[in-house]
Amino acid sequence: MTATPARTVAVLSDIHGVATALDAVLAEADVADADRELVSLARGGTTEIPDPIAPWAAQQLCPDQVALLAGLPHPVTLDVDGFGPVLFCHGSPRDDEEIVLVDTRLARWEEVLAGLAPDVATVVCGHTHMPFQRLAHGRLIVNPGSVGMPYGRSGAHWALLRDGVVALRRTVFEVEAACADILATGYPDAEAWAAFFIRSPAGDAPALSTFAPRDGRATVAAGG
């Protein structure tokens, strides 16, 4: 028997432990999130990102939590009213750490989307913390942005899929309350992190400039 399609889907991505932002969004929609990188770190893995927070966060997980997160599939395809099958992933359908951007060239999108079932007309991704919608080779690409670590402007960013329409949403939360909660956790460099990502979010233009070479365009440029 075919499962009943979901009527409404709220997509929250890249919460990064900012509970105040998450709580503000949860007051509007029932959702859940998980961090796959923490599973690897909790099991003794390493990261190339020079960030002391992820290893610290991984140490806070109990074995049951690690097992729960490890058991979550990636990517996930869900039938949604008005959309049909929707593929949800973090980075891209083929790699949960791949960088794809609103201005990533179509040739790269063709590679990223290769192998998807023809009836998957919508792909929802995250990872880059900047919300956007665009078409690529006939498929709608959606990035909800980041709940807890936005690039571009303040607020908790997320997306709502309902009746065939995507709404990119932004929920305002108490900035100073969020900063106080972060400082209370004992995060490494918590004060500087809160100041940069919560009080004065990183700009979208610098973020795009930083990410751009990682979406394959630098290789094309170097090759002439």
What is the pLDDT at residue 33? 37
Q: Classify residue 56: in a domain, yes or no.
A: no
What is the pLDDT at residue 1? 35
* Residue linked to tokens 């990035």: 143
Q: With 0-12 CB in 10 A as exposed, 13-18 as middle and 19+ as buried, what is 13?
A: buried
| CA atoms within 13 Å, Cβ hemisphere of 85 | 10
What is the tally of structural domains in the chain?
1
8 Å CB contact between 148 and 14 = yes
Q: Classify residue 143: in a domain, yes or no.
A: yes
Q: Can you give the pLDDT of all 224 residues of the chain as single tens digits? A: 347 889 999 999 998 888 899 999 988 854 533 555 566 666 666 665 556 556 666 666 667 766 766 777 789 999 999 999 999 999 999 998 999 999 999 999 999 999 999 999 999 999 999 999 999 999 999 999 999 999 998 999 999 999 999 999 999 999 999 999 989 988 778 899 898 888 888 899 999 999 999 998 877 666 65
Q: Classify residue 51: in a domain, yes or no.
A: no
**Model confidence over 111-158: pLDDT tens digits?**
999 999 999 999 999 999 999 999 999 999 999 999 999 999 899 999
CATH number at residue 113: 3.60.21.10
Q: Which residues contact 32 (CB under 8 A, 6 or more apart)?
A: 12
Nearest-5° angle of CA 84, CA 71, CA 29? 50
The DSSP code sequence of 48-110 is: SS--SHHHHHHHT--HHHHHHHHTS-SSEEEEETTTEEEEE-SS-SS-TT----TT--HHHHH
Does the predicted model carry a pTM greater than 0.75? yes
Q: Which domain holds residue 163?
A: 8-34+72-222
What span, in angstroms and rounded, lies between the C-alpha atoms of 61 and 63?
A: 7
The phi-psi region of residue 41 (left if phi > 0; otherwise alpha if psi is between -120 and 50; otherwise beta) is alpha
Q: Classify residue 50: in a domain, yes or no.
A: no
What is the pLDDT at residue 144? 97
Query: Which 3 state secondary structure label does DSSP give 34?
Result: coil
What span, in angstroms and rounded, lies between the C-alpha atoms of 174 and 133?
A: 27
Q: Classify residue 203: in a domain, yes or no.
A: yes
Q: Classify residue 62: in a domain, yes or no.
A: no
**Token duo for residue 87:** 């593929």
Q: Classify residue 58: in a domain, yes or no.
A: no
Q: Classify residue 39: in a domain, yes or no.
A: no
8 Å CB contact between 86 and 80 = yes
Query: Which 3 state secondary structure label does DSSP give 46?
Result: coil
